[in-house]
Structure 1
């Protein structure tokens, strides 16, 4: 019985690791997309050009 618990736990960690890797890949694709990069660039440019009062 104890051996089954270890195997189940290992399988759960493996599934969690795969899910985290897939989420990271999707997030990387979204963040490095052209629209996101240009939007962030515009925000940074606007912030740097804003006069300080």
Structure 2
């Protein structure tokens, strides 16, 4: 394997990792945004202890 081929492979792997990180960050943002829609007391209605 030549030096240029190795450099191109490293660039390709680096690009794929950057894309993966972007996708994971975006998914985390979506999950976080959906979590803000839940009420302060949690998912259920009212107090679970019945008080």
Unaligned runs of 5+ in 1: none
- Which residue does the alignment assign to 1:23? 27
2:25 matches 1:10: no
* Cα RMSD (Å): 2.4
TM-score by length of structure 2 reads: 0.70
Bigger helix fraction: 1
2:48 matches 1:40: no
Q: How many residues align?
A: 46
| Runs of 4+ with deviation above 2 angstroms | 36-39, 41-45
Unaligned runs of 5+ in 2: none
How far does the alpha carbon of each residue in 1:5-32 deviate from its partner, in whole angstroms, 9 at most, with x for none? 1000100010011101100110011011
